[in-house]
Amino acid sequence: MKRLGIPELVCPAGGLPALKAAVDNGADAVYFGCRNDTNARNFAGLNFTPKTMADGVEYARARGRRVLMAVNTFPRPGREELWRDAVDAAADFAVDAVLLADIGLLDYASRRHPKLALHLSVQGSATNYEAINLMHREFGIRRVVLPRVLTLDQVAHIVRNTPVEVEVFGFGSLCVMNEGRCWLSSYATGESPNTLGACSPARFVKWENSSGQTSTRLNGILIDRWTDDERAGYPTLCKGRFEVEGETYYAFEEPTSLNVLEILADIAKIGVSAVKVEGRQRSPAYVAQVTRVMRAALDALERGADAYRVDPAWTAELAKVSEGSHATLGAYDRPWR
């Protein structure tokens, strides 16, 4: 359970075994979605059916953990019913909160289910306290998940100026380009996270192995080519290598994973309420490994911020499961804005 002054640890669950892995390894809360395009990790075979959701909610509850349901894509014109149904399901399951991004859906949820706690999803892309406070005034949001584009100072500034709880990303693959507004996947495939709930849908992805190298193509577009000794990343355009003015390099960003262990004490000190782990598309093994490390770090923090040190074993464990070859503090520590 969440302890005073220590951020809540929020972990991903793409399925029931992952949810149990999160709970068993010390998550304070788990987040998951329905098996359809109402959530931003809509991959084949992933996510929860009503049956597994009931089991998952019960498992977490019985152990005193909180459950959060993500309905964080944008309703498609003419099919709004599906998204409203998902919100109704969240209310039926009496989840501790539902994560929403769309303003229309926030409006629906706040009027239809006044008791249901609302979190503004990262897809809602609120990066300043005025936007967050407006959502608070209009829809009574309890928490905001901040996009991964803010520096630590900017996060602190928001915390000081809003009554809304602030949740930040603590570990996972990066998706930093205009969260909630990225068009790269649509450009290549006609489908994007905000419409169908998946960036770079698998059926557009092809890996070609030839001697000593692997090429990744997204709908025929060559995204990257790795030699056998290079680490691989997800097949997204933002992490591809492209030729720009005669040079071939990661023109948008390098395939890296965010890891905030180094600044965890600062994150707690500025009053952040929750730290989130990315990865509903990952397996129970990943969820267990990352949850265990984050729990150990938060427990260490609870024993005293001054004595808090990053254990090299934590870093090694997280580096192993990371996308790309290194971890980064991302925008939290960027010299430029």
Partner 1 sequence: MRGTDFFSIPGFSLPDFVPALASRLPQWPYAVALTAAMNAALRIGVVPKEDIEALEGKTFLIDILDAGARVCFTFGNGIFHPSFASPERADLVFRARLSAFLQLAARQEDPDTLFFKRELSIEGDTELGLIVKNTLDAIEWPDLTALAARPILKFHGFNLETAVDH
CB of 78 vs partner 1, minimal distance in Å: 25
Which span (44-52, 176-184, 241-249, 269-277) binds partner 1, by CB under 8 A?
Answer: 44-52
Residue with smaller CB distance to ligand SF4, 134 or 205: 205
Residue pair 11/30 in contact (Cβ under 8 Å)? The answer is: yes
Three-state DSSP at 306 gives: coil
Q: Does 141 bind ligand SF4 (CB under 6 A)?
A: no
Q: Does 231 bind partner 1 (CB under 8 A)?
A: yes
Q: Does 315 bind partner 1 (CB under 8 A)?
A: no
Greatest Cα-to-Cα distance within the chain, rounded to the nearest angstrom: 59
Alpha-carbon distance of 273 to 171, in angstroms, equals 15
Q: Which one of ligand SF4, partner 1, none interacts with residue 175, CB within 5 to 8 A by kind? A: ligand SF4
Q: Which of 39, 42, 47, 236 binds ligand SF4 (CB under 6 A)?
A: 236
Q: Count residues contacting ligand SF4 (CB under 6 A)? A: 10
Count of positions (residues) in the chain: 337
Q: Does 192 bind partner 1 (CB under 8 A)?
A: no
Q: Does 318 bind partner 1 (CB under 8 A)?
A: no
Paired with 22 in beta bridges are none
CB of 275 vs partner 1, minimal distance in Å: 20
Print the binding letters for residues 149-188 with ligand SF4: x by CB under 6 A, - otherwise.
Answer: --------------------------x-x----x-xx---
205-214, long-range: CB < 8 A, 24+ apart: 205/235, 207/235
Residue list 242-301, contact with partner 1 (CB under 8 A): 281-286, 288-289
Name the burial class of residue 304, with classes exposed (0-12), middle (13-18) and buried (19+) by CB atoms within 10 angstroms of its CB: exposed
Q: Does 25 bind partner 1 (CB under 8 A)?
A: yes
- What Cα–Cα distance (Å) separates residue 333 from each residue in 146, 174, 260, 268? 15, 14, 10, 16
Q: Does 312 bind partner 1 (CB under 8 A)?
A: no
Concatenated DSSP letters of 235-286? S-GGG-EEEETTEEEESS--SEEEE-GGGHHHHHHTT--EEEE--TTS-HHH
Nearest to 321 by CA among 261, 224, 231, 237: 231
Q: Which one of partner 1, ligand SF4, none interacts with residue 203, CB within 5 to 8 A by kind? A: partner 1
Residue pair 31/117 in contact (Cβ under 8 Å)? The answer is: no
Q: Does 324 bind partner 1 (CB under 8 A)?
A: yes
Chain contacts with partner 1 (rule: CB under 8 A): 14-18, 20-21, 24-26, 43-46, 49, 52, 63, 201-203, 205-209, 214, 226, 228-233, 281-286, 288-289, 320-324
